Structure 1
Amino acid sequence: MAGFTKFSLTNPIVLTVSVLAAIGWFILFVGACAASMHGITWYIIIYNLFVVVLVFCGLGLKKLGNYQNMMMILLTISIVYLTYMIPLLLDAPGSAARACAGGAIILIICEFLWIFLFGSSEDSWIHQTAHRYNDVGPNIPSITTPAVIQRHLHRSHSKNTTRDSPLPQFQSEKDVEAADDEPVQATALHTYQANPEDPNEMSFEKGESLEITDRKGNWWQARKEDGTTGIVPSNYFQV
């Protein structure tokens, strides 16, 4: 259920794919009207309208988490129908039928992307990459912003790697009590890919055990078994 519970229309990737799907369906509908299509073509068009509206409503209300398997089936059936219909449209005379086929192709591409986004587990590369853009866009601030300038000044005058930047929005944040400097072992609750723009961050896998050498603040200083050190988000670990 990770895909539907983590994504919404505020995610720019999900929103872009969803808008393109709506545009594809509209082209499909207008082309079918102009080409005077009949029979099973209209059944497929109405079925796809149902699927697109269902995805939009589910993303807007964030209520599709319990219906992930059903949505995967509906999207798969839709792709099969559209794939069957495209050759018939391309063989039909007139530019309207070809426009209708173009809308169907756009819709198929978007439905494949929906399946990749919503069907991927929370540990997958697809899910983590898209999830970085939830609500506020990528968590990579401009180098000219005051927050980044202040952080670089802080790092240049102190070896303390505690950061005031927000935690990655994987789950709801909770207050982390300041701990003493005695190293402790912590287990990763989730997989995390380090931000390539920040050389201080460190990637880790779900279930991996790290030695936490500094637990002050939201970002902890950690060391792997191979000696690699870096900072990690505190809400990804259980001590």
Structure 2
Amino acid sequence: MGFLLSNLLGDPFAISTVSFGMIAWIISLAGAAANPSATYLRFTWWGLVYELMLILIILVLYLYNTIELYKFTLVGLLAVATVYTTNSVNTLIYNSNNAGNLCCAAGCILLSMLNILWMVYFGGHPESPTNQFIDSFSVKASPFTHGQIPSSANKMEDSDFVSGARPAFNSYLNNESRHSQLTANANNNMNGNNKSNYMLSSQLNGLENFSSSHINDNARNTFYKAEPANEDFNLPATTYRYKAKALYNYEANPEDINEISFQKDEILEVDDIDGKWWQAKRSNGQVGICPSNYVKLMD
């Protein structure tokens, strides 16, 4: 879980709320500083310092992609911050004889709204409608947002394939796709579903030396012969350096063959833990990817 600026820039909710918090904090600070004789702002001054530290903590957690591990802690800290900002608003509103007080009150109101929004998000369950709606705008959508899960191609980019393995893998997929198409065409011909007596040019590959009388006899066997496996195609083995414990039950997306399902409290071997999808291996030997929000690294 290294420091990556893309962790913040790829999450519109994170970058917008952190930016909004900094703007609101600057407004509050400017208003408080504009009234040097306001001795009653001692409580507000400490509240502003506390709020700044909290915003910076959330910023750092987003940059290191560890925000999921501290959500419940942040809810408690935000509750304390809300007490500071709301009480400051109450004090400043009733001392409205100075424009600085009103400016500081406006900033504290904005900070209070932000704290409440963060508490709703961080304190909500990842599968709640509000969290799924917010996470759906992320470039790397949350793994809890079914239907918004990144495509298999995007997830494969986060894996630790060595250089040169990807072209072989793509070639293998292309061969499999071609074989599936040929098999489907053969089925149509056998079952009489293909009303045409002609064959597509793509179906004639390998049959150039056959006469038309041979096609009907041999096409069926040709189409049903599986293409030989590429002996040079070997996916590199993954070394799993960490262990993780499942925090929740997870059911793999049936449309994505790369995901794996697991149960709460199950121990997984994991690796490639920089992104939101981790390489994982179950105790039964099943391998694939798992959402990082559903598991916790073990010491």
User: 1:8 Cα shift?
Assistant: 4.2
Q: Which residue of 1 aligns with 2:210?
A: none
User: 1:55 Cα shift?
Assistant: 1.0
User: 1:170 Cα shift?
Assistant: 9.8
Q: Which residue of 2 aligns with 1:120?
A: 124
Q: Which residue of 2 aligns with 1:90?
A: 93
The residue correspondences of 1:1-239 to structure 2 (distance < 5 A) are 8-36=8-36, 37=38, 38-92=41-95, 93-135=97-139, 168-169=149-150, 173=155, 189=250, 218=255, 235=259
Letter in 1 for 2:119: I
CA distance in 1, matches of 2:260, 2:149: 9
Given that 1:35 and 1:97 are in contact with CA atoms closer than 8 Å, whether structure 2 keeps it comes out as yes
71-80 or 107-116, larger mean C-alpha shift: 107-116
CA distance in 2, matches of 1:103, 1:236: 46
Per-residue deviation, residues 154-209 of structure 1 (Å, max 9, x unmatched)? xxxxxxxxxxxx9713998469x999xxxxxxxx94599xxxxxxxxxxxxxxxxx
CA distance in 1, matches of 2:89, 2:112: 10
**Local SS of the residue matching 1:39:** helix
Would the alpha carbon gap of residues 167 and 52 (structure 1) be closer, same or farther in structure 2, given more than 3 Å must change? closer
Letter in 1 for 2:29: F
User: 1:65 Cα shift?
Assistant: 3.1
Cα RMSD of the aligned pairs, angstroms, is 3.7
Per-residue deviation, residues 119-161 of structure 1 (Å, max 9, x unmatched)? 2212101111111111268xxxxxxxxxxxxxxxxxxxxxxxx
Would the alpha carbon gap of residues 12 and 97 (structure 1) be closer, same or farther in structure 2, given more than 3 Å must change? same
**Local SS of the residue matching 2:137:** coil
Question: What TM-score do you get using the length of structure 2 for normalisation?
Answer: 0.46
CA distance in 2, matches of 1:62, 1:83: 30
Would the alpha carbon gap of residues 167 and 47 (structure 1) be closer, same or farther in structure 2, given more than 3 Å must change? closer
Would the alpha carbon gap of residues 10 and 167 (structure 1) be closer, same or farther in structure 2, given more than 3 Å must change? closer
**Local SS of the residue matching 2:116:** helix
Gaps of 5+ in 2: 1-6, 142-146, 160-172, 181-248, 263-299
How many residue pairs match? The answer is: 160
CA distance in 2, matches of 1:69, 1:189: 21
**Local SS of the residue matching 2:127:** coil
CA distance in 2, matches of 1:52, 1:24: 11
Letter in 2 for 1:120: G
Given that 2:82 and 2:115 are in contact with CA atoms closer than 8 Å, whether structure 1 keeps it comes out as yes
Q: Which residue of 2 aligns with 1:159?
A: none
Greater Cα radius of gyration, structure 1 or 2:
2
Letter in 1 for 2:124: S
Would the alpha carbon gap of residues 236 and 98 (structure 1) be closer, same or farther in structure 2, given more than 3 Å must change? farther
Given that 1:173 and 1:235 are in contact with CA atoms closer than 8 Å, whether structure 2 keeps it comes out as no
Q: State the 4+ residue runs in structure 1 displaced beyond 2 angstroms.
A: 7-10, 63-69, 169-175, 188-192, 233-238
Identity %: 19
Letter in 1 for 2:42: G
CA distance in 1, matches of 2:86, 2:151: 36
CA distance in 2, matches of 1:118, 1:170: 26
Bigger relative contact order, structure 1 or 2 (CA pairs below 8 A, ≥6 apart): 1
